[in-house]
Structure 1
Amino acid sequence: MSVGKVFLVGAGPGDGKLMTIRGKEVLEKAEVVVYDSLLGPSVLAMIPDEAEAVYAGKRAGNHSMPQEQINALLLEKALEGKKVVRLKGGDPFLFGRGGEELELLAEQGIPFEVVPGISSSFAVPAYNGIPVTHRSYTSSVHIITGHRKNGSLDGIDFEALTKTGGTLVFLMGLAALPEICERLMTAGMPGDRAAAVLERGTQAGQRRVISTLAELPEKVKEAGILPPAIIVVGEVCRLSEDFSWYEKRPLAGYRILLTRPEGRSSKMEDALSALGAEVVASPGVRTVPVEDNGSLKAAIRNLEDYRWLLFTSPYGVRIFMEQMAADEVDVRKLAGVRLAALGKGTAAELKKYGLFADLIPPVYDVETLARCVRDQTEPEDRILVPRARLGNPVLGEILSDRRLEEIPVYETEYRRRSALSETALFEKGEVSCVVFTSSSSVKAFCARNEELDFSLVPAVCIGPQTAKTASESGMRTMVAEKAEMDELVRLVVRLAEEGEIPPVK
């Protein structure tokens, strides 16, 4: 058996959008993922379903797995020939014990690669309008662990830190905040020096307390700030009010669970993220083509026999056209066939192949599509529909007096998350809403969250049929005016403005 490889990957400060391209590439191909506690939900959602996910988180006084055991686990999985990702918050070499985890691997000759990550030391202040350096204030920045070793901060030279005049960033120091502030002042730092504590930076629900060194501990206590949080000491903290930007976006503070099928969520994810939301892309279904589809091949060979070709999803278009290409059937064979597309997304997929829909129903649901086609056909017209195996039966019911042929070309499989607990997020009030773009996505969500009280779930739905499925499970539903992605985004913004969906607690 060949030896595997270990990738030490920095996941960044929390928001999945801040994970590096290389980090995502490596994670997508992982067979084993050993992950930490400080990863945001949008990062956890990136862990492949097929990967073996092992939690190795550490919080103050609570280590789920001792460091020596983590080191041994990485070695064990690599010796099994696996591609192993050690996924760590921030940067793995900045107080992340990355060096310790590589020692055993190097000693045993195991191949490894380090993928740096964006450190919270810089990203979290930036998301709170605090530049850690500024020529008018300071020319240096110093990063210190605030974690007590054996209950003591004696390993930190507070007098030396005070003399630098630079910005000080303490990681993992919230529990020791009063002692840190006291010892800095004892070392000569003035009590009116600006200081801040920044909680859950870069994620929905981030909060900050800006004060002075002397008053910061009490202000933080009053605000109820909790870990993870970092401490920033320096006059640059005074710039926060003028430079703050994150919370000025309309969806800042909102975490949105997006359940679009795999490979179809990026456009909506980008739109919601641009408006300030933290988007957790958690596809509920995976689309799998029907293998060796003899019925589809036969229909393609005889396309000239059909009057209409109906597509109910972009997947149907893609699989149909790929089969035509595989069978070397010229697209000109569609010359006498009229094309109908259910929605703009399906029509846009047709355009990729130089084809334009003759019919797009005014309302994007199967019933309206069927009625529109019925109005434009005669009983003798043959109609071909490449669609999902478990498609909506209403199409066949309305077109029962037509020569309708529905051919399953793909199946939808439910996905289960290997690391992300959606149930826990809703129970803790850490999700504002979930966006559903199909009934199958609703069913998949319910299947993988069987223990969840669905009345806790605000469901933003693309259309009435999707909303009906969500409502039947007990969710509170809201429906877009049109079954379009842009309309869904506008609906989410309006619901946030009107207080119909909550920001993260």
Structure 2
Amino acid sequence: MKAPDAEARRAGLTAPMVCFLGAGPGDPALVTHRGTELLAAADLVVSDEPRHAAIVEEFVPAATPRTDAAELGQAATTRGRKLAGLAREHGLVVRIVPHDGVLFSTTTDEAAAVRRQGVDFEIVPGVGLAATATAFTGAPVTTNRVRSVRFVEAGEQSHVDVSKHRNTGHVLTGSREDVVSALGALLGDGWDPETPVLLSADLSTVSQLSVESTFGAAAELTRETFAESAQVTMLFGQGVEQHAELDWFETRPLFGWRVLIPRTKEQGSQTVRALSELGATGTIVPTIAIQPPRTPTQMERAIQGLVNGDYQWVGFTSVNAVRAVREWFDDFGLDARALAGVRVAAVGGPTARALEDWGVAPDLVPTGEHSARGLVEDWPDRDPLVDPVGRVLLPRADIATEVLVEGLTERGWDVHDVTAYRTVRAAPPPAPIRESIKAGDFDAVLFTSSSTVRNLVGIAGKPPASTVVACIGPATAQTAEDNGLEVDVLAEEANMGSLISGLVDHAVRRRAEALAAGRAPLRPSQGRTVKRR
């Protein structure tokens, strides 16, 4: 549905279009497939900033122009008229609107104004408010005894739409003060002050906060709990009683945690996704940058040796090593077929996946510890009759790999340890990130090597004692302690899955200890003013 360029539009070869896209509650994962297609094809995206910032960042190409809907005017008809003008100028305009895009929305008014300007429009619904509130709070608005739902816009007149339907599930939504006004109106209309209610804001995000209350106490609690600018959803009816039983979202083990990931974007993206499934937000801070070796001659000879059959094995000890060799192959006009006849080893799962992405199926991946030591343990001894070549190429960073070199040499192999790339300390992260690290705004940091420890401290400063420090192995932990950090989590195995599991166990244990002591379970960043021990 990508619109042609401006010249084609001026020639009348295509019609302008405004698509109103219901974006759901704001979580990019809940945008419909049709929605992602439209955002990728848009010539201009109009959104409510910063409410839809995550969706725009996830699905809109960097080169696509964006406009804040607030700049189009206060009145829906004014916005619709301007949207039509933007469509004539740009082509396909995607207007992002909250939730399903229709309920408690000005979409239809804007769409009517677009039509009056002679411009076509489309409405693509998203995940609605009721479904989001019910799913993410675990409080159903219908039960086997409640067969109807009433949606009410919060405010002083809310009782008019509610009081005649006391055996119905209710969903009220509005600003914090509108919800407070609605509560007052309902109490004034004779509702029992002990009626249970569930109040929520920032639905489906890691900032989601839900509190149970009653009509009588909810107004004060709402003002204490939610920011004045918050959009609050209030549920009441029989289903509220099931909140504690069905609450799966806010009870995830790392819910609301901010976790620092000192890795490159390529290495850290999978970690971010894994953490999000556990309720946490991962922030990647690159601590190293990859550069070519100062003297390329050795690597040039090694590539030639691979092509000529001078090596029987090539061992990759990192994703960066795979990437570096791949770039060397590209420079020589080669591809993965040049490795035909050479056996390939990978130090672990991520390195193996990088090879598979290149079209190379590794012959050896450690069955135990994913490390140089684990690779040595599984590497076969050389048999001169079976392995006449006997040479192994280890393309690596400018950091020694003595464990692997010594281990393979003991097994009878002739090891060529060649620098394929250099690692240098990355540039410091932006000032807000550095300040957040030093202030303890991050709940945890995941260290995957000694260099990540040294480089993070060097470019961004040392996290305070309140930040949970998780290390992938003993050597990394020792480096962390040498840099004045107290290690809270040590992975049982040297891989990212084990490291995250260790952090989850720590968080669960921390929560259980707080509850057993009669304290509210706080995230580390929430209790940073209290000394850890």
Same fold (TM > 0.5)? yes
Summarize the Cα distance change of 1:372–1:216 in structure 2 as closer, same or farther, 3 Å threshold.
closer
Summarize the Cα distance change of 1:262–1:249 in structure 2 as closer, same or farther, 3 Å threshold.
same
Q: Write the distance in 1 (CA, Å) between the matches of 2:120 and 2:391.
A: 60
Q: 2:24: which partner in 1?
A: 12
Q: Could you state the TM-score of these two structures normalised by the residue count of structure 1?
A: 0.69
- Residue 171 of structure 1 deviates from its aligned partner by 1.5
**Residue correspondence of structure 1 range 3-402 to structure 2 within 5 A:** 8-27=20-39, 34-37=46-49, 39=51, 43=55, 46=58, 50-51=62-63, 56=68, 66-67=73-74, 81=90, 85-102=94-111, 106=115, 114-136=123-145, 138-146=146-154, 153=155, 156=157, 158-165=159-166, 166-221=168-223, 227-256=230-259, 268=271, 271-274=274-277, 276-280=278-282, 295=300, 299=304, 302-314=307-319, 316-317=321-322, 327=334, 330=337, 333-334=340-341, 337-347=342-352, 349-350=354-355, 353-357=360-364, 362=369, 364=371, 384-385=393-394, 391-395=397-401
- Residue 345 of structure 1 deviates from its aligned partner by 2.6
- Residue 183 of structure 1 deviates from its aligned partner by 1.7
**SS at 2:344's partner residue?**
strand
CA contact (8 A) 2:173 2:233 kept: yes
Q: Write the distance in 1 (CA, Å) between the matches of 2:96 and 2:203.
A: 19
Figure out how many residues of one structure are paired with residues of the other and give that number: 477
Identity %: 24
**SS at 1:245's partner residue?**
coil
Q: 1:60: which partner in 2?
A: none
Which is worse superposed, 231-240 or 309-318?
Answer: 309-318
CA contact (8 A) 2:470 2:499 kept: yes
- CA deviation vs aligned residue, 1:445-466 (integer Å, no higher than 9, x gap): 999x97x985486554545787
Q: Write the distance in 2 (CA, Å) between the matches of 1:86 and 1:264.
A: 34
**SS at 1:309's partner residue?**
strand
**SS at 1:355's partner residue?**
coil
**SS at 1:346's partner residue?**
helix
Summarize the Cα distance change of 1:328–1:186 in structure 2 as closer, same or farther, 3 Å threshold.
closer
Instruction: Give the one of 468, 480, 493 matched to 1:482.
Output: 493
Q: Write the distance in 2 (CA, Å) between the matches of 1:23 and 1:428.
A: 38
- Residue 273 of structure 1 deviates from its aligned partner by 4.5
- Residue 38 of structure 1 deviates from its aligned partner by 6.5
- Residue 218 of structure 1 deviates from its aligned partner by 3.2
Q: Write the distance in 1 (CA, Å) between the matches of 2:426 and 2:118.
A: 40
- Residue 230 of structure 1 deviates from its aligned partner by 1.2
Letter in 1 for 2:219: P
CA contact (8 A) 2:36 2:59 kept: no
Q: Write the distance in 2 (CA, Å) between the matches of 1:469 and 1:28.
A: 44
- CA deviation vs aligned residue, 1:372-406 (integer Å, no higher than 9, x gap): 99x9899x97654556xxx4433599979964444
Name the larger-Rg structure: 2
Which is worse superposed, 432-441 or 342-351?
Answer: 432-441
Letter in 1 for 2:32: T
- Residue 130 of structure 1 deviates from its aligned partner by 1.0
Summarize the Cα distance change of 1:414–1:178 in structure 2 as closer, same or farther, 3 Å threshold.
same
CA contact (8 A) 2:139 2:240 kept: yes
Letter in 1 for 2:131: F
Q: Write the distance in 2 (CA, Å) between the matches of 1:85 and 1:475.
A: 48
Q: Write the distance in 2 (CA, Å) between the matches of 1:481 and 1:67.
A: 57
Q: Write the distance in 2 (CA, Å) between the matches of 1:493 and 1:49.
A: 34
Q: Write the distance in 2 (CA, Å) between the matches of 1:29 and 1:443.
A: 43
CA contact (8 A) 1:463 1:482 kept: yes
**SS at 1:211's partner residue?**
strand
Q: Write the distance in 1 (CA, Å) between the matches of 2:243 and 2:403.
A: 61
Q: Considering only aligned residues, what root-mean-square deviation do their CA atoms show, in Å?
A: 5.6
Letter in 2 for 1:482: E
- Residue 279 of structure 1 deviates from its aligned partner by 3.8
CA contact (8 A) 1:415 1:444 kept: no
Q: Write the distance in 2 (CA, Å) between the matches of 1:314 and 1:42.
A: 28
- Give the structure with the higher percent helix: 2
Q: Write the distance in 2 (CA, Å) between the matches of 1:474 and 1:27.
A: 47
Q: Write the distance in 2 (CA, Å) between the matches of 1:11 and 1:382.
A: 57
CA contact (8 A) 2:369 2:493 kept: no
- Residue 487 of structure 1 deviates from its aligned partner by 0.8
**Structure with bigger RCO (C-alpha 8 Å, 6+ apart):** 1
Q: Write the distance in 1 (CA, Å) between the matches of 2:52 and 2:447.
A: 22
Q: Write the distance in 1 (CA, Å) between the matches of 2:215 and 2:104.
A: 24
Which is worse superposed, 278-287 or 218-227?
Answer: 278-287
- In structure 2, stretches of 5+ residues that fail to align are 10-15, 293-298, 407-413, 512-521, 527-533
- Residue 296 of structure 1 deviates from its aligned partner by 9.7
Q: Write the distance in 2 (CA, Å) between the matches of 1:268 and 1:242.
A: 29
Letter in 2 for 1:231: M
- Residue 194 of structure 1 deviates from its aligned partner by 2.9
CA contact (8 A) 2:19 2:121 kept: yes
Q: Could you state the TM-score of these two structures normalised by the residue count of structure 2?
A: 0.66
CA contact (8 A) 1:312 1:342 kept: yes
Summarize the Cα distance change of 1:197–1:402 in structure 2 as closer, same or farther, 3 Å threshold.
closer
Q: Write the distance in 1 (CA, Å) between the matches of 2:82 and 2:425.
A: 35
Q: Write the distance in 1 (CA, Å) between the matches of 2:88 and 2:455.
A: 36
Whether 1:502 and 2:523 are equivalent positions in the alignment is yes
- CA deviation vs aligned residue, 1:142-163 (integer Å, no higher than 9, x gap): 22332xxxxxx46x46334321
- In structure 1, stretches of 5+ residues that fail to align are 58-62, 147-152
- Residue 305 of structure 1 deviates from its aligned partner by 1.5
